[in-house]
A and B are shown apart, each in its own frame.
Chain A
Amino acid sequence: MRHEVRFSGFGGQGIILSAVIIGRAAVMYDNKFAVQTQVYGPEARGGASMSAVIIDDEPILFPKVTVPDIYVIMSQEGFEKYGASAPEDAIMIIDSTLVHSRPVCTCIEVPATKEAREKLGRDIVANIVMLGALVAATKLVSETAIERAILDSVPKGTEKLNLGAMSRGFELVKERGQSA
Chain B
Amino acid sequence: MSTIQFMQGNIACAEGALAAGCNFFGGYPITPSTEVAEHMAVKLPKQNGTFIQMEDEIASMASIIGASWTGARAMTATSGPGFSLMMENIGYAVMTETPCVIVNIQRGGPSTGQPTMAAAGDMMQCRFGSHGDYSIIALCPSSVQEMYELTVKAFNLADRFRVPVFLMADEIIGHMRERIIIPDKVEHTARRPLESGVLPFHPEKDLVPGFPGFGKGFGVHVTGLTHDERGYPCATNPKLHEQLVMRLCNKIENARKEIADYVVTNPEAETVFVTYGVPARSVEQVLHDTGSKNIGHLRLKMVWPFPEHAIAEFPNATRFIIPELNLGQIAREFDRHTRVPVIQVPKLGGDLHLPAELKKLTGVGI
Q: Which A residues fall within an 8 A CB radius of B?
A: 20, 23-24, 26-28, 33-38, 40-42, 60-64, 66
CB closest chain-A residue, reference B177: A36
B116 touches A35 (CB 8 A): no
A28 touches B6 (CB 8 A): yes
Distance between Cα atoms of A66 and B175 in the complex (Å): 18
A61 touches B284 (CB 8 A): yes
B175 touches A27 (CB 8 A): no
A35 touches B355 (CB 8 A): no
A37 touches B175 (CB 8 A): yes
Task: Please pick, from B4, B171, B285, the residue contacting A27 in the complex, using a CB distance under 8 A.
Answer: B4
A33 touches B4 (CB 8 A): no
Sample of 15 more A-B contacts, CB < 8 Å, known A20-B6, A27-B6, A62-B282 = A23-B178, A34-B6, A34-B179, A35-B178, A36-B178, A37-B176, A37-B177, A38-B175, A41-B116, A61-B284, A62-B281, A63-B176, A63-B178, A63-B281, A64-B352
Please indicate the chain A residues that have their CB under 8 angstroms from the CB of B176 in the complex: 35-37, 63
CB closest chain-B residue, reference A62: B285
Distance between Cα atoms of A7 and B167 in the complex (Å): 31
CB closest chain-A residue, reference B352: A64
Q: Determine whether B254 belongs to the interface, using a CB cutoff of 8 Å to chain A.
A: no
B116 touches A27 (CB 8 A): no
Q: Which B residues fall within an 8 A CB radius of A?
A: 4-6, 32, 116, 171-172, 175-179, 278, 281-282, 284-285, 288, 352, 354-355
Question: A5 → chain B, closest Cβ, in Å?
Answer: 14
B179 touches A33 (CB 8 A): yes
Distance between Cα atoms of A34 and B4 in the complex (Å): 12
A27-B179, A61-B285, A62-B282 known; A40-B32 Cβ under 8 A: yes
Please indicate the chain B residues that have their CB under 8 angstroms from the CB of A36 in the complex: 6, 176-178
Distance between Cα atoms of A34 and B178 in the complex (Å): 6
State the main secondary structure of chain B at its contact with A. mixed
A27-B4, A28-B5, A41-B116 known; A63-B179 Cβ under 8 A: no
A60 touches B178 (CB 8 A): yes
Question: A36 → chain B, closest Cβ, in Å?
Answer: 4
Please indicate the chain B residues that have their CB under 8 angstroms from the CB of A41 in the complex: 116
CB closest chain-A residue, reference B173: A63
A23 touches B177 (CB 8 A): yes
A28-B6, A62-B285 known; A33-B175 Cβ under 8 A: no
Question: B300 → chain A, closest Cβ, in Å?
Answer: 17
Query: How many A-B contacts if CB must be within 8 Å?
Result: 60
The 3 closest A-B pairs by CB, nearest first: A62-B285, A61-B285, A27-B6
A61-B284, A63-B281 known; A40-B179 Cβ under 8 A: no
Please indicate the chain A residues that have their CB under 8 angstroms from the CB of B116 in the complex: 40-42
Please indicate which of the listed interface residues A27, A40, A60, A62 has the most CB atoms of chain B within 10 Å of its own CB.
A62
Please indicate the chain B residues that have their CB under 8 angstroms from the CB of A24 in the complex: 6
Task: Please pick, from B4, B171, B284, the residue contacting A40 in the complex, using a CB distance under 8 A.
Answer: B171
8 contacts between A and B (CB under 8 A): A27-B178, A28-B4, A34-B177, A35-B176, A36-B176, A36-B177, A61-B288, A62-B284
Please indicate the chain B residues that have their CB under 8 angstroms from the CB of A66 in the complex: 354
CB closest chain-B residue, reference A25: B6
Question: A33 → chain B, closest Cβ, in Å?
Answer: 5
Question: A49 → chain B, closest Cβ, in Å?
Answer: 13
Distance between Cα atoms of A27 and B177 in the complex (Å): 11
Task: Please pick, from B4, B6, B32, B278, the residue contacting A63 in the complex, using a CB distance under 8 A.
Answer: B278
Please indicate the chain B residues that have their CB under 8 angstroms from the CB of A64 in the complex: 172, 352
Distance between Cα atoms of A27 and B180 in the complex (Å): 9
Question: B341 → chain A, closest Cβ, in Å?
Answer: 26
B177 touches A35 (CB 8 A): yes
Question: A38 → chain B, closest Cβ, in Å?
Answer: 7
Distance between Cα atoms of A27 and B7 in the complex (Å): 10
Please indicate the chain B residues that have their CB under 8 angstroms from the CB of A26 in the complex: 6
Question: B77 → chain A, closest Cβ, in Å?
Answer: 17
CB closest chain-B residue, reference A41: B116
Distance between Cα atoms of A143 and B303 in the complex (Å): 44
A37 touches B179 (CB 8 A): no
Distance between Cα atoms of A64 and B352 in the complex (Å): 8
Please indicate the chain B residues that have their CB under 8 angstroms from the CB of A37 in the complex: 172, 175-177
Question: A146 → chain B, closest Cβ, in Å?
Answer: 13
Task: Please pick, from A33, A40, A62, the residue contacting B178 in the complex, using a CB distance under 8 A.
Answer: A33
Distance between Cα atoms of A37 and B172 in the complex (Å): 8
Task: Please pick, from B32, B177, B278, the residue contacting A20 in the complex, using a CB distance under 8 A.
Answer: B177
CB closest chain-B residue, reference A52: B176
Please indicate which of the listed interface residues B172, B176, B281 has the most CB atoms of chain A within 10 Å of its own CB.
B176
Distance between Cα atoms of A156 and B171 in the complex (Å): 31
CB closest chain-B residue, reference A35: B178
Distance between Cα atoms of A66 and B5 in the complex (Å): 25
A62 touches B5 (CB 8 A): no
CB closest chain-A residue, reference B3: A28
